[in-house]
Structure 1
Amino acid sequence: MRLRTTIVSLGVGAFCAFGAAGAGCGNDSSNGSSNDGGFYDDGAVRPEPAPYGLDERPANATCRAPARPPAAAAVKLERVYANVPLDNPMLMAQIPGDPSRWYVAERVGKIVSFPAQNPPNAVREDLNITGQITDLRSEGGLLGMAFHPNFARNGHVYVSYTTGTEDRIVSAVRRFTSAARNGTAFGGQSDVLVFNQENQPNHKGGCVEFGPDGYLYASFGDGGGGGDPFKHGQDTNSFFSKVLRVDIDNGSPYAIPDGNPFKNDTTGKKKEIFAYGFRNPFRFSFDRVSQQLWLGDVGQDDWEEVDIVKSGGNYGWSVKEGSHCYPSSTTNCSSAGLIDPIYEYLNPPSGTRAVTGGRVYRGKAIPELVGSYLFGDSQTGEVWAMTLDPVTRKPTVTRINDGSTGGPVTAFNEDADGEIFITALGSKIYKVVANGKPSGAQFPEKLSQTGCVDPANPKNPAPGLVPYGVNSPLWSDGADKDRYLALPDTKKIHVNPDGDLDLPVGTVLVKSFTLGGKRIETRLLVRHEDGDWGGYSYEWNDEQTDATLLPANKTKAVANPSGQTWYFPSRSDCMSCHSAAAGRSLGLEVGQLNGDFVYTSTRRISNQLATFEHIGLFDASLGAAPQQLTRYPTPTMPGSELGDRAASYLHSNCSFCHRPNGLGGGGTDFRYTTSLANRKACNANPSNGNLGVPDAKIIAPGSPGKSVLSLRVHALDAARMPPLASSLVDKAGAAVLDEWIASLAACPKDADAGKD
């Protein structure tokens, strides 16, 4: 039983405590008690303990958040309806023939609406089925919504969601009716498609749309797990891995339309099937001009794909992943009868991708975009426009954003005029608009031009920066790191009730990485004027005189005996770790900062929280002395209980993705304050494959070798966790996890059983 820790209530607001990286993507290999403050290293006088590390807040005259780099695309994303309060919007739609209101399907099980023009702050609740929703662990919830084409006549809306129980998940498509025919007070529930899911938290699909033929289409994934463990991909006797098509205006509850490939089958094939061979077809749509069905199918380890779907088509899973044999070690799979994607993109070993299918633009506001297919990635927030050569059908894909969608992209939504709006789990809505002339302000190309370092010697910080460290480091392939915080002079930090630090607009976080005594990379994490963040990577030159801004990701060989490579993350890579669910800035939280730090400028050793409060960085008193507040132990330093150290390691290395509404699969929650019983990991089946170990669990008590958690930390291939910006095993950290797993005799039986 681990000792309980308590996060003292520190104010109002809600952010979630996460991770350990302070700036940009990446990890921390040093902690607050041993970090020397970074750029300075005079070594003249031994630091001495003191109540505070600094006497006053330094004036910040130069390190200020620059404007975002100008986009090169002809279109951009513009946030709209910012004053409309929403709870994790999955998609939005307008009633056919009535563009006056937007209806938003919220993941928790609500449909709310607001005026499309000049919306008020409040929204109207039109349907509430939150009591029916289950399996919000990873990819469940209210997933799809479609208004009947003749809504004005019948008042019908069709909703797709997961229900049942945690032990028996059910996928349901049900009809609800607005008796007043005005889109209010939906009721009168009736079943359309209801079937038992596999007891896995992912690959539920859940999209519903009416086609130009008037029929209802619905998509479902392979049931979950990794590698199609239930063999549903090519099974035409189930609803899994399919796009279905039914005629809901005839029959009870529907009729089978002519043209469905198995309508006249007598061998057990599902007559509702329209197409099959999909892994997780989360979103599809119809081009209102060509009437083609476009679909995004989430890949396994390597390839994300976009398909143009036709009746009877077999799109390959799990014989193929994209156009490639699956698994990748197979080279002689048969392609007979399989349809390759119209476009695919690689999911690199260093990152995580998951395509969100979009829509073909048919609006009038952006003539040059007409006919382009817009789609995105739910993990990175990237959005692209794709055009097809009319003769060769070869795709040309252009990135139209910097990945800052405020959360996982959930849907591309079309209004009555064909304009496209994007919803994201960060409760934000964006509109695709024409990109005006780029701003005259350019993002600094050299680190020496940022104002955050001494331009004469960029290894030294600018005077206005405050150094900090973290108690629980995130592994960064053995690099040493220096971390700095720069706030606008008039702004202060708000500490949220969970201990996360809410940093003001204009904040810049600076983190530098050193390998073998040479500076290799410096990252800036910037909170821009729009309130959201951007991550930017600077590569140091061999002469160690300056660093240059990178436009995209990059891998570079490091000159050391091990032949190590270093991965520079792209801007979207940065925001996939520094997600909205993770609170964007990761290491800046009470539990991470509550420790002693060496302030080289004053040659003092002092508690960071006490120092921050003393120099006036917080907007309110912490309300307690540091020793009364949460403090994460350093995982590899004995002195704390093993369970606490393992929990701290998981918090720093895993929880930025594996937490409620995070980007990690499986529904696990590895935040430090989450008990083992509530982590949904102990004796839990892995949702993305068992890595070749029969009967493997996420955490198998007493057996690291049968614990996917341990196997992934030790892996160096596509199974590696964390997946981004790391190519070496953290041997010391992995040893702590293994020792802890080996020490577990059994899983706790209830949520009050503690963390170990």
Structure 2
Amino acid sequence: MKKLLILLLALILTACSVDSVEEPEPSDPVLEEPQEAPAEKPPVVDQPKEEDPSQENPYTVPDEFQPARYEVEDPFSSLSFKEPLALVSDGVDDDRIYVVERGGTVYQLHKSDASSQKIPFLDLTEAVDTSGLEMGLLGLAFHPDYDENGYLFVNYTRSGETVISRFSSSDRETVDLTSEKILLTYSQPYSNHNGGSLLFGPDGYLYISSGDGGSSGDPNDEAQNLTSYLGKMLRIDVDTEDHPYLIPEDNPFLYSEEARAEIYAYGLRNPWKFSFDEGRDLLIAADVGQGEIEEIDLIVSGGNYGWNRFEGTRTYREGETLENHILPVYEYPHSEGRSITGGFTYYGEALESLQGAYIYGDFISGTIWALWLDDEDQAENHTLLDTDLMISSFGLDNQGELYIVDFQGKIYTLKEEE
């Protein structure tokens, strides 16, 4: 069964031929509020958030990395899920984690009782379009003040567009579907390369990854087009009730008349998963490749990551160059894997040997690696283990412990071999 799924998904996640697809006319993205909202709303400049100078970085990066030997463990052996795509924590309850299914359902699990049932938390199955294999409910993030405001944010697809919405949960047990506040929508010309992750950064802003809109080779040149939301990392401030969102004052293209003010970085193909390494103060994105290269990028404000002129460090469009685009911090060829799944830098306590290492994998090969960055962000890569998992995501609980999400329906952890 896995081989069949791999063959089907490899056609979409890697460089498949789509010459027979009729290319639709691209449409401009719109900002949207629920109900009688205007078709487009100009961005509103935000004041910078205040930082507490007395707060010290709680994360310690070790001086070196020496991996041990590892194996996967099934902590929820009695539970299974249908096409799970993400695992997140709420920042409030150390015993709870949440599993996101592509079809639109979010389940709550209690770690202390691994034999307990999965508890329905959010059901968007009626709203989510899953007609393409890379479409569905793709991301979930809880507000940093979730304990006080009950807000959670989702990224899902519907009828040819991506939707970023806010919902409310008053009791932290269920979500009120009538509370949806649509923050942002943008068109998706094809069914693949939707990106889909969203996370709150240490700065309190919401970051959203978007793919290049799909097909093969970015035929609409979306990733390099600063008037398009596609092929980008977006950054918005959601702490407003009067508008869908605000634009952070230090967004790099805020005052450009030829760029979307929400854009934080661009030139990305399909940054399916990204995360923050708070110990090193880095934003790390894993960008799924075309026909040859999978890459890991260190995302900076205003950065251009080269797609579709370059695939990783290799020229993709012969005869076309870019000035000052940013190269990957690490890349690997398709002989090692064909669809990178980004993970997290580990700062938990259960696996001391992984402290400070960025753990990631590959959806097709099932390999799990650790990327170690030195003081100058020079990378060394270590293979941790080979698995038969279809790794769709990694996740962290509130203690920073790592989970592996298998698209075939299971949730795993890593443990050191005895």
TM-score (norm 2): 0.81
Query: Is residue 2:314 matched to residue 1:321?
Result: no
Unaligned runs of 5+ in 1: 1-14, 20-71, 437-756
Q: CA contact under 8 A between 1:276 and 1:315: conserved in structure 2? A: yes
Q: Which residue pairs with 2:330 in the alignment? A: 343
**AA in 2 matched with 1:143:** L
Q: Which residue pairs with 1:431 in the alignment? A: 413
**AA in 2 matched with 1:434:** E
1:334 corresponds, among 321, 343, 364, to 321
Q: CA contact under 8 A between 1:359 and 1:375: conserved in structure 2? A: yes
The structural deviation recorded for 1:396 is 1.7
Distance 2:106 2:3 in 1: 29
Q: How does 1:642-681 map to 2 (within 5 A)?
A: none
Query: Is residue 2:117 matched to residue 1:116?
Result: no
Q: CA contact under 8 A between 2:234 and 2:265: conserved in structure 1? A: yes
Q: CA contact under 8 A between 1:85 and 1:121: conserved in structure 2? A: no
The structural deviation recorded for 1:418 is 1.2
CA pair 309-131 structure 1, distance change in 2 beyond 3 A: same
SS at match of 1:312: coil
**AA in 2 matched with 1:416:** N
**AA in 2 matched with 1:79:** D
RMSD: 2.0
SS at match of 2:147: helix
Q: CA contact under 8 A between 1:147 and 1:156: conserved in structure 2? A: yes
Distance 2:375 2:88 in 1: 30
Q: How does 1:530-545 map to 2 (within 5 A)?
A: none
The structural deviation recorded for 1:73 is 4.5
Distance 1:300 1:229 in 2: 13
SS at match of 2:95: strand
2:363 corresponds, among 378, 385, 395, to 378
Q: Which residue pairs with 2:341 in the alignment? A: 356
Q: Deviations over 1:505-555 (max 9, x none)?
A: xxxxxxxxxxxxxxxxxxxxxxxxxxxxxxxxxxxxxxxxxxxxxxxxxxx
The structural deviation recorded for 1:117 is 1.1
2:130 corresponds, among 131, 135, 142, to 135
Distance 1:93 1:16 in 2: 25
Q: CA contact under 8 A between 1:92 and 1:413: conserved in structure 2? A: yes
Identity of aligned residues (%): 36
Q: Which residue pairs with 1:402 in the alignment? A: 386
TM-score (norm 1): 0.46
**AA in 2 matched with 1:323:** T
Query: Is residue 2:397 matched to residue 1:415?
Result: yes
CA pair 186-102 structure 1, distance change in 2 beyond 3 A: farther
Query: Is residue 2:287 matched to residue 1:297?
Result: yes
Distance 1:315 1:18 in 2: 33
CA pair 197-18 structure 1, distance change in 2 beyond 3 A: closer
Runs of 4+ in 1 over 4 A off after TM superposition: 15-19
1:94 corresponds, among 83, 89, 92, to 89
Distance 1:137 1:82 in 2: 29
CA pair 183-218 structure 1, distance change in 2 beyond 3 A: farther
Q: Which residue pairs with 1:688 in the alignment? A: none
**AA in 1 matched with 2:205:** Y
SS at match of 2:89: strand
Q: CA contact under 8 A between 2:72 and 2:413: conserved in structure 1? A: yes
Distance 1:85 1:227 in 2: 36
The structural deviation recorded for 1:333 is 4.3
Q: Which residue pairs with 2:73 in the alignment? A: 78
The structural deviation recorded for 1:223 is 0.5
Q: CA contact under 8 A between 1:419 and 1:432: conserved in structure 2? A: no
Q: Which residue pairs with 2:42 in the alignment? A: none
Q: How does 1:201-212 map to 2 (within 5 A)?
A: 201-212=191-202
**AA in 2 matched with 1:195:** Y
The structural deviation recorded for 1:16 is 9.1
Q: How does 1:6-25 map to 2 (within 5 A)?
A: none
The structural deviation recorded for 1:238 is 0.9
CA pair 121-136 structure 1, distance change in 2 beyond 3 A: farther
The structural deviation recorded for 1:429 is 1.0
Unaligned runs of 5+ in 2: 6-66
Q: Which residue pairs with 1:197 in the alignment? A: 188
The structural deviation recorded for 1:394 is 3.1
Distance 2:2 2:88 in 1: 30
Q: Deviations over 1:378-401 (max 9, x none)?
A: 11111101112334x432211122
Q: CA contact under 8 A between 2:68 and 2:416: conserved in structure 1? A: no
**AA in 2 matched with 1:400:** L
**AA in 1 matched with 2:386:** D
CA pair 120-76 structure 1, distance change in 2 beyond 3 A: closer
Distance 2:166 2:147 in 1: 15
Distance 1:409 1:287 in 2: 20
Structure that is richer in helix per residue: 1
The structural deviation recorded for 1:183 is 3.8
Query: Is residue 2:270 matched to residue 1:280?
Result: yes
Distance 2:246 2:2 in 1: 47
Count matched residues: 356
**AA in 2 matched with 1:317:** W
Distance 2:183 2:411 in 1: 30
Q: CA contact under 8 A between 2:236 and 2:248: conserved in structure 1? A: yes
Structure that is richer in strand per residue: 2
Q: CA contact under 8 A between 1:356 and 1:411: conserved in structure 2? A: yes
CA pair 220-129 structure 1, distance change in 2 beyond 3 A: same
Q: CA contact under 8 A between 2:107 and 2:120: conserved in structure 1? A: yes
**AA in 1 matched with 2:399:** D
Larger radius of gyration between Structure 1 and Structure 2:
1
